[in-house]
Chain A
Amino acid sequence: MISVGDLLKSRKTLKGNYFAPYAYVQGDFELGLLETRLGARLIALPEVFLQGVYEGLQHELGDASSLVLYNCGRWWGKSFFRRFQQEVTQYYEIPLAQMEMVEFLSCFKQCWKTHGWGTIEFNFDYYPHGLIVIYTTNSPFAAAAPKGKGFACQLEAGILASFFSQLTGENLDCLQTSCESMGAPLNSFILGIQERIKMAKTWLQEGHDHTSILELLCNTQVNKEG
């Protein structure tokens, strides 16, 4: 016997998509503010502004601009995690840590989409090797970056590294291994502990592609004491 009355009283949510676009993006138009449905401020960035950021940083910093963007992403990801945690916890009335993994990921994917950052998918096939593979499409950053000039989604990589570091309590790094700005159909990222991503970076510089880097990572153990 299943009691529907008890099901309705259980702590498990009947709520759907907190990040549904029409509900999530609100605003006080009188004051010129765009806000989330819980009142946190949002701003719309024109593509031309992002193009200017890439051009300006490249002009001033050259190759170091990638590192700057990655660190900006890390900083952004830290705040993004706090906001995400606060909003999701408040809406679903359950701490993030107690949320089922699949519900958490569904929220994250919808959040990514509603912010206009394209789509995001997770592949946990490499989780036993300590890696999460992430794919994004329609990245606004890849679209604004100069074409064919190298990996361009350092901001996203930084956000992902920082967000999942906060979530897991581990110090994680994230490496982009394919990019829409270089003609790839999607942007690929590998997320893992810093020692492993460091090795992956070397292989990337040696010219290995996404699949081959994953194979190499799976076949290589890290000596944590080393």
Chain B
Amino acid sequence: MYSLLQELIHEAESKYLGQSDLVKLLQEMASMRPRLAVYRYLRDNEVYIFQKVADELLAQLPQEKTRNIENCLRHWLSITRYSAMAMLLNNPEYLQRHLLEWLTDIVRVYEYQHISKKLHSLLISRLKEELPDNGIKYIEPFLNQAQAHIENVH
């Protein structure tokens, strides 16, 4: 939304927008309602969703130190919050600049990529089950973007 709006504002300047741009704008605005619904759901069910993910994660990684799992969970709580805003703005760059870049060195030190991979997959499965009206399609690209970023940290 935000990047598209900016693009349209820059494009318009001293002229009226053309029909195709107005259609793009309308489509973007139409998708705002379901995005907001997903945002509200994530906000109101944060503890419920993540507690389920945490319990499954502990069961699947019995050898892993709890502290490592906690660190990874804490960062994924953060990733999901920033992803939710990036989803509202429909702007992957928001997630990149506001969180992922900053997280790069931290992930390198914590070395929890293997936990993150499991956590991401559990979170996606959980959200697929829980989010009504196929809402997963709005948030999933941002969660995938974060997981891809974490996987690429060496």
Interface residues in chain A, defined as those with a beta carbon under 8 Å from any beta carbon in chain B: 1-5, 7-8, 10, 12, 14-17, 19-23, 102-103, 105-107, 109-110
Whether the pair A103, B106 counts as a contact (CB closer than 8 A) is yes
User: What residue of chain A has the Cβ atom nearest to residue B98's Cβ?
Assistant: A20
Q: Can you list 24 pairs linking A and B with CB atoms under 8 Å apart?
A: A1-B58, A2-B55, A2-B58, A2-B73, A3-B51, A4-B46, A4-B47, A4-B50, A4-B77, A5-B47, A7-B73, A7-B74, A8-B46, A10-B74, A16-B98, A16-B99, A16-B102, A17-B101, A19-B102, A22-B97, A23-B98, A103-B106, A107-B102, A110-B102
Q: Is the interface of B mostly helix, strand, loop or mixed?
A: helix
Q: A105-B105, A109-B105 are in contact. Are A16 and B47 (CB under 8 A)?
A: no
| A residues near B126, Cβ cutoff 8 Å | none
Interface residues in chain B, defined as those with a beta carbon under 8 Å from any beta carbon in chain A: 46-47, 50-51, 54-55, 58, 66, 69-70, 73-74, 77-78, 81-82, 97-99, 101-106, 108-109
Further pairs besides A2-B54, A16-B99, A103-B106: 4, Cβ < 8 Å: A1-B55, A2-B66, A4-B47, A102-B105
Shortest distance from the beta carbon of B111 to any chain A beta carbon, whole Å: 11
Whether the pair B70, A2 counts as a contact (CB closer than 8 A) is yes
